[in-house]
Structure 1
Amino acid sequence: MPAADVPPYLRIAADLRGRIAAGALRPGDRVPSTRGITQEWGVAMATATKVLAVLRQEGLVESRPGVGTVVAEGADGDGGPGAPVPPVTEPAEPAPAAAPAPAPARARRREPRAGDPGLNRERIVQAAIAVADAEGLAPLSMRRVAAELGVATMALYRHVPSKEELVDLMADAVLLSTPLPAATLTGWRPRLAALARVQWSLYRRHPWLARSISLTRPVPLPGALRHGEFVLDTVAPFELPPTTQLYLHIMFFAVIRGIAVNLELQSQEGEMTDEEWMASQEGVLLSTLASGEFPRFGSLMGQLDSATGEEDFDLDLDQLFEFVLARLLDGLTLLFEPPAG
């Protein structure tokens, strides 16, 4: 058919296939995510999902938990057994003088299977985690996970009844994936500091996690309860009122999560870097401060810009976490180690 009549997802798949053939994308390299495809080609998320499904069905790409969609091993441009296959297009009218040559085995598209004997809840959850790690929580859907697994969307519902429950299972899986601090660790401050850093490392590895856990409507996930149990075990010797113990647990969760919700925005593809964003806002800030309406801010910014040798302020979330954690623990000293008298 004329090139103009080829569906957009096939044209994009052909473009990516060409990059793989040319060696611009090598085995193990990440291919553009669905979010990246929507931004580069200006198409809808459903179209981007079809693109990756086509390449996956051809064996050119594969999913890797914690990484995303990458070029499959052997899918290179060397002309060997893993050489890229011809573009998948709508059927064309055969030439009357010759029969069309049979397509290579890898080029034969297969429709998503209604069921998969090897499909189970754990595979679905791990595939969903891989999607969320690579693209964020917003693009995650049952259809997107089904495309990642190469099965029909309805096949997932036999194992997970809804996206909401899937997200809960994802959160529980990653919360259970990292060991808690050693039970032999002593002292309330070292124990709480160690737990806080475990939680921060989880948010770092899975930026979507902070948005998946609710403060006001928590789901009793075993993984989350393990963290709460560690806090309660730490404060138990102080015989605090039950309400105070629960507030301590919730406070730690809320403070760390409050910083971590910014990690997903920071990691989104196609967004400005933090430095570029701050540079783009500098003119607006200086113009606002020049009005004199915010003298404290104006004075502070002047001090940062003065020739005192002080470096420019860069908001680093890891440093902010450590600063907040230290101040939080300093404040709790009054509760656990009140001054005499």
Structure 2
Amino acid sequence: MVTAEPPYQRIVAELRRRITEGELRPGDRVPSTRQIAIRWGVATATATKALNTLRQEGLVRAEPRAGTVVAEPSPAAGPVPPTSAPAGELTRERIVRVAIEIADAEGLEALSMRGIAARLGAATMSTYRHVAGKDDLVLLMADAAFGELPPATDPALGWRERVEQAVRTLWTLHRRHPWLSQLNPLNRPLPLPGLLAHGEQILAALEGAGLDATATLDVEVLLYSYVQGLAANIEREAHEQAATGMSDDDWMRQQEPAMGAMAATGHYPAFARLMAGFTTDGYDLDLDRIFELGLRLLLDGFAQSRRPSS
């Protein structure tokens, strides 16, 4: 009796062939778990298992915010062990660390208890001895991520400089882990000690600004939502790339004819003049530059509002 080949092995064989024959080169993105599930008509867990197998063979590697890419050829013969080797005791800390790696590379949608267990070489049910479920895991991940950078500011500085230090640290963490922007809605704040430690620095700095309690919290919420809102664009772009296989540059090139046609109608003269100014070099959407601009404008406006009117 011939046993049918497991679906994940067929996917592995096809992607392995494309890599070894040079169709996919080092650094090229391979299909995401979402794309594999759609293309081959399999469950997400099956797609995850296929990518994990390729990772264990040393053919692919996880690249934060880029997804899974073809690895550089290894001089060593034979497969290499997976990034998160199953050696050692299964612990909550290892589960959280691997979950962060997956979310950094492919976003929260790619996260599953089964996929994490596969990366760790463990049975799925064994992970539930350490984590109650995915919702609980995401909170643990967020708390660990916010704890990666010390939130301390220099008390010798003025309130504005201390606020800038604290907000830049939050931006750095959201840049590193853009999935953080999907958590903690403003009207339903999460009790995360790691996040509150950063909020504490902003609140302590604002004590020197002479505000009442309501105004202080308003400003803290505004600053946090500013960071969160910008970082959400990083996460959305990663999601769109995973779903479509197109980079933002690819997408913009595809939209250029439609944008040009709209500008040519004469109905949007300001837009047309603006676009004409980018005909040579184009516009580089630099979120770090925009972050610094927005932070300065927010704090300039806040400082101006505190000055007595003449």
The TM-score with structure 2 as length reference comes to 0.80
Q: Which amino acid aligns with 2:295?
A: L
- Asked if 1 retains the 8 angstrom alpha-carbon contact of 2:153 and 2:201, the reply is no
Larger mean Cα displacement after TM superposition, 171-180 or 31-40? 31-40
Instruction: Decide whether aligned partners of structure 1 residues 63 and 274 sit closer, same or farther in structure 2, where only a CA change above 3 A counts.
Output: closer
Other structure's SS at 2:211 match: coil
The separation in 1 between residues aligned to 2:251 and 2:62, in whole angstroms, is 31
Residue equivalent to 1:102: none
Residue 256 (structure 2) aligned to one of 282, 286, 308: 282
Residue equivalent to 1:83: 78
The separation in 2 between residues aligned to 1:307 and 1:146, in whole angstroms, is 52
Residue equivalent to 1:100: none
Residue equivalent to 1:93: none
In the TM superposition, what whole-angstrom CA distance separates every residue of 1:121-170 from its partner, at most 9, and x where no partner exists?
Answer: 11110010001011111121111211111111111111111211111111
The separation in 2 between residues aligned to 1:11 and 1:308, in whole angstroms, is 47
Residue 201 (structure 2) aligned to one of 198, 209, 230: 230
The separation in 1 between residues aligned to 2:32 and 2:199, in whole angstroms, is 35
- Asked if 2 retains the 8 angstrom alpha-carbon contact of 1:65 and 1:129, the reply is no
The separation in 2 between residues aligned to 1:339 and 1:319, in whole angstroms, is 31
- Asked if 1 retains the 8 angstrom alpha-carbon contact of 2:159 and 2:208, the reply is no
The separation in 1 between residues aligned to 2:202 and 2:99, in whole angstroms, is 29
Residue 197 of structure 1 and its aligned partner are, at CA, apart by: 1.7
Unaligned residue ranges in structure 2 (runs of 5+): none
Other structure's SS at 2:109 match: coil
The separation in 1 between residues aligned to 2:189 and 2:10, in whole angstroms, is 44
Residue equivalent to 2:158: 187
Q: Which has the higher helix share?
A: 2
Instruction: Decide whether aligned partners of structure 1 residues 28 and 156 sit closer, same or farther in structure 2, where only a CA change above 3 A counts.
Output: farther
- Asked if 2 retains the 8 angstrom alpha-carbon contact of 1:66 and 1:129, the reply is no
Other structure's SS at 2:151 match: coil
Instruction: Decide whether aligned partners of structure 1 residues 69 and 155 sit closer, same or farther in structure 2, where only a CA change above 3 A counts.
Output: farther
The separation in 2 between residues aligned to 1:31 and 1:309, in whole angstroms, is 33
The separation in 2 between residues aligned to 1:244 and 1:69, in whole angstroms, is 45
Q: How many residues align?
A: 302
The separation in 2 between residues aligned to 1:156 and 1:118, in whole angstroms, is 11
Tell me which structure has the larger Cα radius of gyration: 1
Residue 51 of structure 1 and its aligned partner are, at CA, apart by: 1.3
- Asked if 2 retains the 8 angstrom alpha-carbon contact of 1:21 and 1:84, the reply is no
Q: Does 1:166 align with 2:161?
A: no
Residue 12 of structure 1 and its aligned partner are, at CA, apart by: 2.0
Residue 281 of structure 1 and its aligned partner are, at CA, apart by: 2.6
Instruction: Decide whether aligned partners of structure 1 residues 190 and 161 sit closer, same or farther in structure 2, where only a CA change above 3 A counts.
Output: same
Q: Does 1:137 align with 2:108?
A: yes
Q: Which aligned pairs between 1:142-153 and structure 2 lie closer than 5 A?
A: 142-153=113-124
RMSD: 3.9
Residue 288 of structure 1 and its aligned partner are, at CA, apart by: 4.4
Residue 318 (structure 1) aligned to one of 274, 281, 288: 288
Unaligned residue ranges in structure 1 (runs of 5+): 86-105, 107-112
In the TM superposition, what whole-angstrom CA distance separates every residue of 1:265-306 from its partner, at most 9, and x where no partner exists?
Answer: 2234354222332332333344445555xx5xx222222244
Larger mean Cα displacement after TM superposition, 137-146 or 125-134? 137-146
Q: Which amino acid aligns with 1:284?
A: A
The separation in 1 between residues aligned to 2:68 and 2:231, in whole angstroms, is 25
Q: How many percent identity over aligned positions?
A: 45
- Asked if 1 retains the 8 angstrom alpha-carbon contact of 2:104 and 2:177, the reply is yes
Q: Which amino acid aligns with 1:276?
A: D
Q: Which amino acid aligns with 2:94?
A: R
- Asked if 2 retains the 8 angstrom alpha-carbon contact of 1:61 and 1:72, the reply is yes
Residue 211 (structure 1) aligned to one of 182, 187, 201: 182
Instruction: Decide whether aligned partners of structure 1 residues 195 and 40 sit closer, same or farther in structure 2, where only a CA change above 3 A counts.
Output: farther
Residue equivalent to 1:333: 303
